[in-house]
Structures are given as C-alpha cells and as structure tokens.
Structure 1
Amino acid sequence: MDIERNPVLVDKLASEYVLGALQGGARRRFETLLRRHAVLRQAVAGWQDRLHPMAELAPPAQPPAAVWSAIEAKLDLPRKPQRKRSIWFELREDLSFWRGLGLVSTTAAIILTSLLLSRQELPPVPAAPAVSYIAMLSNEQAQPIAVVTGDAPGGRLLVKLVVPQKIASDKSLELWAVPKEGPPRSLGLLEANGSISLALPADATPQTVPLLAVTLEPKGGSQDPKGPTGPILFKGAWVRI
C-alpha cells in the first residue's frame, strides 16, 4: 500500500505516534516508515507543533518528593528519616503536578477520544453523550492506557481501554475516585479490554475528586471498606472540559 496516497491514514498514524498511543511493533514499523516518507515526517511535525506548545501554558509545578529522594540517592547525600506514608497520600501530595498537566492531558484525551470514536470498526451510536469531565489514565511509563469521560447530566461514566490489559482469571480491575480528603471510593469494575459504562456519582466532580486511579484487585473487587488492596496500575487527573 502506498501510504502517501492515503492522507487520512497518515494523519491518524502521526497523531497516535505523537500522543504515545502507537506502541510495540506498530510503533517500530511506523518509525521505519518515517525514515522513508517525508509526508509522514511532516505530519508528525505538525502534530508536535500543535500539542507541545500547550505544555508551556501549564503553571509551574513543585516536583514530587520522590524526585528529590532520587536525586539525593544519586548524589549519595544523607537522607532525613521519614515516616512511611500511603501511596494515596503521595498521590494527593502530587496534586499540583497533576493539575499542571491538566490542560495537556485534557487536550490529548479529547484528541485521543475523537480518534477512537472515528475508527471504522466501532458501531454507530444513536446519539453521543455529553462530555462534562475527562481523564487520561497512564501507567508508570507515562503510556496512555485508558480514557475516561463523564456525562454529568446523564450520570454516566464511559471508560475506554486504549491498551487491552492481560490479568489473571482471579483478578479484577477496579476504578477509584481519589478525593481531596478521605479514602478512595470505588466507581466500579472495568473490562480488561474494550469499553464499559458505569454510574457517575453526583459528587464525583473534579472539584472534590481531582484524581482517578485503577488498581488490580481480587476477583469481584476490593472487599476492604477502607479502599483498594492492590497496586495502582494507571492513574490520571480528572478535569472539567
């Protein structure tokens, strides 16, 4: 196939490459094509020009405490003894970091959502729900894993996994709302691939719930009334659009 004769495919591949949604072998094949086709390089440069300046609009953010700890370890500096804190406390402490990425994450998530909805294999829907809130959930390697959209008037959440997850048969993926205060609240269980619609609580707004996170839990979800019991797999800022 002569890719230069398919401008729609060129634009879609370039956008997914810049957003980081193109992974594994597909990304390596695309990078090989980049070296051969100037039209692909121009498309990638165009998407970079559109997205990268948005990062400059984000307010300055204080680096998380873990960054300073890593620097101290590299320089072999004496470290002050610290009381062990839960990972959920650390997430709240990093709210300035997530808020700083809010604009970029929102823009990227909107673009990624439009790309997903434009794929031909998706069946047509009678009417698109309103999108009041959005989040792009990424793993520790900053790879986008899921896009979450919230329809406040309809009281529904739509969770779309960009990268299907392989989990054991005795495990479940559970979505959590991480409020500014108090323990995380479960929003429901996710499918390991594809999309799922969940109820959106009226109080799960970005004003009170600035973060969403997904953990790996026993089959059927966490039974602990205090919240999650498993590791955090991916997370992201929950923002209004």
Structure 2
Amino acid sequence: MTSSPTRPGVSRWWRALSIVLLLVLSIGLTATISLYVQLQAHIGHLQSKLSQLPQIRQLAVLMDQDQKPAMLVTYDPVAKQLQLERLNAVKEGREDSMQLWAMRPHQAPQSLGVVESKFKAVAMSATTEQLQGATSLAISVENKGGVPNEQGPRLPWLFQGALVNKAL
C-alpha cells in the first residue's frame, strides 16, 4: 500500500496573520485618504480667509511742512479702499475740507476725494485705475465739500508724500 503524498497546507496562524495585516493595511489606507481630504479642506478654508484679509499694496506717509509724519495712507485693491490715518493733531476748520490728490509726473493732480471725517482713521473708496501711475499723494485744504477735479487744488500742499508700491 502506498501512501499518497500529503499536501503541505498553510497554517491557520499564517492565514489569521495575513487577514489581520490586510485589515491594518485597509484601515491605514482609509485613514490616509481621510487625512488627505481633511488637509485639502483645511487649505481651502485658510485660502478663503486669506483672501478676506486686507491686502495693502500701496502706501504713503504724508509729511507736513516741517517734514514730520502727518498722515498714513494705505490702499487695499481687494476692498478698493484707501485707509487714511491721522498721525498728528491737525484738523480742518469749520468751513474747510481736506482733499486728497494723486500726482503723476507731467500731469495735473487728480482728486481722490474729500476726507469726510475728522476721526483718526477714515476709509475712502478708490479704484486701482485712480492710483495707476501716481508717484505721490498730497492733501490740500479746500472750501467745505472740496473742489472739482478741473479746478485743481489750492496750494501750497498741507501734506505731501511719495506713494510706494509694496513688494508682495
């Protein structure tokens, strides 16, 4: 009688170990995918918050006649706003208005508007085109309500300073 050769089988322990390793690998892969999706969502959220922050692209420190800082002007192209902050105690009179002007080489000054408030910080709407090519900003004292662009400013300038493009 001849005995048939026995087939070597796989141990139950090896089978159990391979199933456990497959489960661990599946859980690890699922966790990795989940973390990747969460990371992408977090990056998107941070990018949207960053786009809402003021993006100061241009600024000017306007100086008085004694070359002391009188007003800080910053421009946020996303909000399309000029932010003016008074650095001294000079205020316009009851019948006067301060008017902001953009100055370009070899061109007449262009009015950016009248500083309406006597508060320390004031926001004025402005477009990028209004500041395009401007090399400096200045403030003149005008009659109440300001003057039209065609009339031009009353000189001498109350405050004046270079407009600087901020590096990104």
What's the TM-score, normalizing by structure 1?
A: 0.44
Residue 201 of structure 1: how far off its partner (Å): 2.1
2:111–2:149 Cα contact (<8 Å) kept: no
**Residue 158 (structure 2) pairs with residue 233 (structure 1):** yes
Please give the alpha-carbon distance, in whole angstroms, between the structure 1 residues aligned to 2:89 and 2:135. Answer: 25
Structure 2: distance between partners of 1:203 and 1:139 = 27
User: Offset at 1:128?
Assistant: 4.5
Confirm whether residue 185 of structure 1 aligns to residue 113 of structure 2. Answer: no
Cα deviation 1:101-146 (Å, max 9, x = unaligned): xxxxxxxxxxxxxxxxxxxxxxxxxx65110101100011111011
Structure 1 unmatched ranges of 5 or more = 1-126
Aligned to 2:96: 171
Q: Which is helix-richer, 1 or 2?
A: 1
Q: 1 CA distance for matches of 2:108 and 2:77?
A: 22
Equivalent residues in 2 for 1:65-84 (5 A)?
A: none
Q: 1:196 is matched with which residue?
A: 122
Higher relative contact order (CA 8 A, sep 6+): 2
Q: How far apart are residue 230 of structure 1 and its match? A: 4.3
Aligned-pair RMSD on alpha carbons? 1.8
Q: TM-score, normalised by structure 2?
A: 0.62
CA deviation map 1:191-221 (0-9, x unaligned): 334111111222234x610000000000000
**3-state DSSP class of the match of 1:204?**
helix
**Secondary structure of the equivalent of 1:229?**
coil
Question: How many Å separate the matches in 1 of 2:63 and 2:114?
Answer: 17
User: Compared with structure 1, are the counterparts of its residues 196 and 166 closer, same or farther at alpha carbon in structure 2 (3 Å cutoff)?
Assistant: closer
For 1:183, give the aligned amino acid. A
Change in Cα spacing, 1:128 to 1:160, as seen in structure 2 (3 Å) is: farther
Name the CA distance, whole Å, in 1 between partners of 2:94 and 2:148.
Answer: 17
2:134 corresponds to 1:134: no
Larger radius of gyration: 2
Conserved? CA contact 2:58–2:75, under 8 Å: yes
In 2, Cα distance between equivalents of 1:154 and 1:181 = 29
The answer (yes or no) to whether the contact 1:173–1:221 under 8 Å persists in 2 is: yes
**Runs (4+) off by over 2 Å:** none
SS in 1 for 2:70: strand
Quick check: 1:148–1:157 contact (8 Å CA) kept in 2? yes
Gaps of 5+ in 2: 1-51
Rounded to whole Å, the distance in 2 between the matches of 1:145 and 1:217 is 17
Which residues in structure 2 correspond to 1:40-189 (within 5 Å)?
128-189=53-114
The count of corresponding residues between Structure 1 and Structure 2 is 114
Task: Read off the aligned partner of 2:75 and give its amino acid letter.
Answer: G
CA deviations on 1:155-197 (whole Å, 9 max, x unpaired) are 1110000113233211001100011232111111123341111
